């Protein structure tokens, strides 16, 4: 297993634990709130190769500045039997943001674009931590489904790919037999 | 191949366009094409070719990452492979054209036949053209099969005919010329295979990796690069064939150069 895959799994596992064990609005999450919504340009039923984007608004809900804020995107596949964290290497080049300081009431609006690589059911979540904070703040989940996109139709390819060699091969064998009979 | 005909001295060879010469050219072309297409060896090669195209098509069907590609990209890949296979066919046949005759001891009777050197060369080229035409026709079902959306399928067929044909002929002519000069099939074929491997590298190395100065120079002089770049523009970028005139000019220039080389080497053949 590659190093970044291990890191990705560890991150996603931690993320899921954090997301399921602590309600987003709880006090433990610290004075950060994260709202997430799909971009208006997203396709209603996206398929492989399409691009999606999610908009987030990270707000400092406390009365003190938050220093050293880092937010990042995580993606997990939730298909039964295929549950796994997704390595975002191919999906997105925009994986994290950072801010030196976020004043009380101040917000950061970010768009997280991604390209859909594989078909399946997915859950995207944005997480944030700060230098002084004691826990991770997750956004609500944003789920989406990616349809597979058949670029090559097997119903067209298979007859040709299997039929032509068979046809030439049979003519080859027939020619040899005829040659043997007449010779 | 031996042409059974009245033996005449080379100086008595008829003019290129004389009826007798044209008949002899047709005879050579038919025999060459027959050896490639009708003979068991020829059919074996055709079987291998359709096997390669079938294998590539089946790989495309089985690829789960393929959906990131446009259908046009798949058609472009298939067209590029057909040109590479055509060039391979041409260089193998071309390597055998004169060097093979020399090794089999049939070159002298051929040169003594009542047909000019250019006529012999034209007959050999005719045989190659027929073989390429058969290969082109066999590739059409594959282009149709992988071009499921129909996106620029007609453009791919036109591009294959327009740019693939001169590239294939260029490799065949260089192989013939080199074979005539070296008189050895193995050396000629090895040399031409190395050249083809280098020339066809744009199929493996994408345009972004050829953006260095050296890569751009290589693309500028390589006829294979011009062919695949023209196919790229026509099939993937949906540009018209008229916009590919620079590519066509470069490919035709190489074809003329290869023809001149083959004519020169054929004229220097000694009995």
Closest to B37 in 3D by CA, of A83, A35, A159, A172: A172
The answer to the question of residue B140 being in a domain is: yes
Reported ipTM: the value is 0.77
Mean pLDDT rounded to a whole number for chain B: 85
Q: How far is the alpha carbon of B139 from chain A, nearest alpha carbon, in Å? A: 10
Burial of A111 (C-beta count, 10 Å sphere; 0-12/13-18/19+):
exposed
- Chain A to chain B Cβ contacts (< 8 Å): 85
Q: How far is the alpha carbon of A110 from chain B, nearest alpha carbon, in Å? A: 26
Q: Which of A120, A164, A178, A182 to mutate to test the interface with B (most CBs of B within 10 A)?
A: A164
User: What pLDDT, on a 0 to 100 scale, did the predictor assign at position B20?
Assistant: 65
Give the C-alpha separation, B181 to B177, whole Å. Answer: 6
Residue with tokens 């139709």: A153
Ranking A103-107, A125-129, B59-63, B161-165 by mean pLDDT, the lowest is: B59-63
Can you state the percent helix, strand and coil of chain B, rounding each to 5?
A: 80, 0, 20
For the segment A143-167, the average pLDDT, to the nearest whole number, is: 87
Q: Does residue B134 sit at the A interface (CB-CB below 8 Å)? A: no
User: What pLDDT, on a 0 to 100 scale, did the predictor assign at position A139?
Assistant: 94
Q: Does residue A173 sit at the B interface (CB-CB below 8 Å)? A: no
pTM, two decimals, is 0.69
* Cβ–Cβ < 8 Å for B72, B231: no
Banded pLDDT at B3 (limits 50, 70, 90): very low
Give the C-alpha separation, B36 to B93, whole Å. Answer: 8
User: What pLDDT, on a 0 to 100 scale, did the predictor assign at position A105?
Assistant: 93
Q: How far apart are the first and last CA of chain B?
A: 15
Contact B54 A47 (CB under 8 A): no
The answer to the question of residue B22 being in a domain is: yes
* Cβ–Cβ < 8 Å for B219, B225: yes
For the segment A10-38, the average pLDDT, to the nearest whole number, is: 56
The answer to the question of residue B144 being in a domain is: yes
User: What pLDDT, on a 0 to 100 scale, did the predictor assign at position B41?
Assistant: 67
For the segment A13-35, the average pLDDT, to the nearest whole number, is: 52
User: What pLDDT, on a 0 to 100 scale, did the predictor assign at position B140?
Assistant: 94
Banded pLDDT at B11 (limits 50, 70, 90): very low
Ranking A29-38, B41-50, B235-244 by mean pLDDT, the lowest is: B41-50
The answer to the question of residue B9 being in a domain is: no
Q: Does residue B241 sit at the A interface (CB-CB below 8 Å)? A: no
Residue with tokens 């062919």: B227
The answer to the question of residue B10 being in a domain is: no
User: What pLDDT, on a 0 to 100 scale, did the predictor assign at position B26?
Assistant: 82
- The beta-carbon neighbor of A164 closest among B60, B71, B141 is B141
pLDDT, greater one: A7 or B83: B83
The answer to the question of residue B119 being in a domain is: yes
Give the C-alpha separation, B104 to B98, whole Å. Answer: 10
Closest to B94 in 3D by CA, of B227, B197, B185: B185
The answer to the question of residue B194 being in a domain is: yes
Domain count, chain B: 1
Is the pLDDT reported for residue B270 higher than 80?
no
Contact A164 B40 (CB under 8 A): no
Give the C-alpha separation, B7 to B28, whole Å. Answer: 16
User: What pLDDT, on a 0 to 100 scale, did the predictor assign at position B271?
Assistant: 59
Phi, psi of A180 (to 5 degrees): -70, -40
Residue B246: which domain range? 15-267
The answer to the question of residue B97 being in a domain is: yes
User: What pLDDT, on a 0 to 100 scale, did the predictor assign at position B259?
Assistant: 96
């Amino acid at each position: 297993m590659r190093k970044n895959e291990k890191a990705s799994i560890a991150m996603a596992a931690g993320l899921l634990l954090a997301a399921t064990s602590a309600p987003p609005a709880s006090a433990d999450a610290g004075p950060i709130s994260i709202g997430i919504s799909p971009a208006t340009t997203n396709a209603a039923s996206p398929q492989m190769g399409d691009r999606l984007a999610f908009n987030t608004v990270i707000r400092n809900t406390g009365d003190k500045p938050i220093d050293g804020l880092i937010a990042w995107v995580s993606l997990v596949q939730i298909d039964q039997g295929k549950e796994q964290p997704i390595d975002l290497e191919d999906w997105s080049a925009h994986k994290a943001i950072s801010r030196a300081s976020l004043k009380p009431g101040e917000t950061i609006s970010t768009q997280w674009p991604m390209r859909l690589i594989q078909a399946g059911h997915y859950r995207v979540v944005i997480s944030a931590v700060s230098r002084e904070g004691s826990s991770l703040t997750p956004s609500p989940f944003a789920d989406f489904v990616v349809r597979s996109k058949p670029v090559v139709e097997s119903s067209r390819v298979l007859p040709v790919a299997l039929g032509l060699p068979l046809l030439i091969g049979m003519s080859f064998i027939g020619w040899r037999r005829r040659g043997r009979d007449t010779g | 191949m031996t042409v059974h005909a009245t033996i005449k001295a080379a100086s008595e060879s008829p003019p290129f366009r004389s009826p007798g010469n044209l008949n002899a050219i047709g005879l050579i072309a038919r025999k060459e094409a027959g050896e490639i297409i009708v003979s068991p060896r020829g059919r074996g090669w055709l079987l291998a070719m359709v096997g390669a195209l079938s294998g590539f098509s089946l790989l495309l069907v089985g690829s789960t990452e393929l959906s990131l590609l446009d259908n046009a990209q798949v058609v472009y890949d298939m067209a590029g492979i057909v040109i590479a296979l055509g060039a391979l066919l041409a260089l193998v046949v071309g390597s055998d054209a004169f060097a093979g005759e020399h090794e089999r001891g049939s070159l002298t009777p051929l040169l003594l036949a009542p047909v000019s050197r250019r006529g012999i060369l034209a007959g050999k080229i005719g045989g190659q053209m027929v073989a390429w035409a058969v290969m082109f026709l066999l590739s059409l079902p594959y282009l149709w099969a992988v071009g499921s959306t129909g996106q620029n399928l007609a453009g791919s067929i036109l591009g294959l005919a327009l740019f693939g044909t001169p590239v294939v002929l260029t490799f065949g002519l260089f192989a013939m010329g080199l074979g005539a000069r070296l008189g050895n099939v193995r050396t000629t074929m090895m040399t031409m295979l190395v050249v083809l491997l280098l020339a066809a590298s744009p199929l493996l190395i994408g345009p972004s990796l050829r953006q260095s100065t050296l890569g751009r120079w290589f693309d500028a002089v390589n006829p294979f690069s011009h062919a695949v770049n023209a196919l790229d523009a026509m099939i993937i970028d949906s540009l018209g064939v008229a916009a590919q005139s620079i590519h066509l000019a470069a490919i035709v220039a190489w074809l003329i150069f290869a023809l001149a080389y083959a004519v020169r080497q054929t004229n220097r053949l000694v009995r």
